[in-house]
Structure formats: C-alpha cells, structure tokens
Amino acid sequence: MTFVRRAWAVVWKDVLAERRSKETVNAVLFFSVLLLFVFEFTLGADRDRLASVLPGLLWLGVLLAALLGLGRSFVLERENECWEALLLTPGDKSAVYVGKLAGNLLLMALVEAVVLTLFTLFMNVDVGRALPGLLLVLALGTLGIAAVGTLFGAMTAHVRARELLFPVLLLPVLVPVLLAIVKSTEALLAGEPLGVVSHWLKLLVAADVIYVVVGLLTFDVLLEG
C-alpha cells in the first residue's frame, strides 16, 4: 500500500467509527455551544467590551473544544485496544500520523464552522468582508494546533493524569500559534487588509512546517507505546 492509502485507511476508520458512535462530535459540539453560554453570561452585559475581546473568545472556544477532541483521539485507540493494530501498520508509521492528523483536522473544521456560525448569529460579529482572510488564518492555525495536538495526544494516552498533562503540554507550545491567530483575527475583523498581518501568516507557515515535520519524524517513537 502506498503512504497515502495507508493514511487514508486510518482516516476512514476514524470517520466510520465516529459516524457509528457519534460520541466525540456530539460532545464537542455541545461543549462549544455551552461555551457560548458561559461567555455570554460572564461578559455579555457590555457590548463594547465584548466586541474588543471577541477574537480571543472565538479562539478560546475553538481551542477548548479542540483540547477535548484531540485528547480523545488516541485514548479511544487505547481503550478499544486497537493500539497494537496501529503498531502493525506496514511500512512507515508516519502514515498513521498523517491519517490521525487529517481526522483531527476534520473534527476541528467542524467545530470551527459551528463556533463561527454561532458567534455571527448570537454575538453580532460581522464576518462579511474579512471572511476569505479569516479562513486562511483559520486553516493555518488549525493545522498548527492539530499537528502538535495529534503528536502530544498519542503521547499522553500512555501517561498518568492524561487529562491534565495534555493541555499542560499543549498550551505553552501553542502560544505562538495562538498569538498569531488571535492577533490576525483581531486585525481582520477590524477591517484591515491581509497585508497587515503578513508577518503573522509567515509565522504560522513556519510553525506549521516545523510541527508537521517533527510529527512525521518522531511519531513512530510514540507509537511504540
């Protein structure tokens, strides 16, 4: 089997399992709706203040949902005792990484679509003109988050107190990505052109390349269990 087909097999397996159980997607989507409630209750009274922190909130929502979803991806493999099967994948193990990464990207894209829609509907964000730029930032940022999240998720599946350690490891590493996406979202929502945030885009591209390459190179070390 080629690399791509092996990766595809992993994605397909995950999508199929998810379509039958709907566990992760349902929980994560419901969680992001609840977050909207929490944001509104804690900050909602003051419209102006809300507007100024909105890019941060948007990403906070996506990030918290991602922490739940990404952390589960490998824990499921372990609970269902499928880890050995993953390990038996023929050839280069980084295909498993690519497959898992793609699955996690799908999940995050779904969450982002929902969160973005909810924000536009319930918090009066005018996405409109900023949308193309926003989607680019969203795509680059999501890849970075998912790349590290997939790598660390495979690791923390084997660790004590994994629910705790996963975010503790992931969040500080993702600081550059978070700063880049929040700052560029802020600028784009304020109506600035994409050129203003070009340095953040450069940073996101560099971060994505570094995270994905490190993931490809080190994943088989983690898959040993």
Residues that bind another protein (CB under 8 A): 48, 52, 92, 94, 148, 151-152, 155, 158-161, 165, 168-169, 172-173, 175-176, 179-180, 183, 199-200, 202-203, 206-207, 209-211, 213-214, 216-218, 221-222, 224-225
Return d(Cα 90, Cα 13) in angstroms, integer.
16
Minimum gap (Å) between residue 156 Cβ and another protein: 8
Query: Which has the closest alpha carbon to 205: 96, 197, 94?
Result: 197
CB 91 within 8 A of CB 145: no
Return d(Cα 51, Cα 43) in angstroms, integer.
10
The crossing angle, in degrees rounded to 10, of helices 23-43 and 3-21 is 70
CB nearer another protein, residue 59 or residue 118 = 59
Minimum gap (Å) between residue 209 Cβ and another protein: 4
CB nearer another protein, residue 38 or residue 213 = 213
DSSP state of 123: S
CB 143 within 8 A of CB 181: no
CB nearer another protein, residue 40 or residue 92 = 92
CB nearer another protein, residue 76 or residue 165 = 165
Minimum gap (Å) between residue 50 Cβ and another protein: 15
Residues sharing a CB contact under 8 Å with residue 133, sequence separation 6 or more, in sequence order: 184, 188, 193, 194, 197
Minimum gap (Å) between residue 143 Cβ and another protein: 13
CB nearer another protein, residue 99 or residue 111 = 99
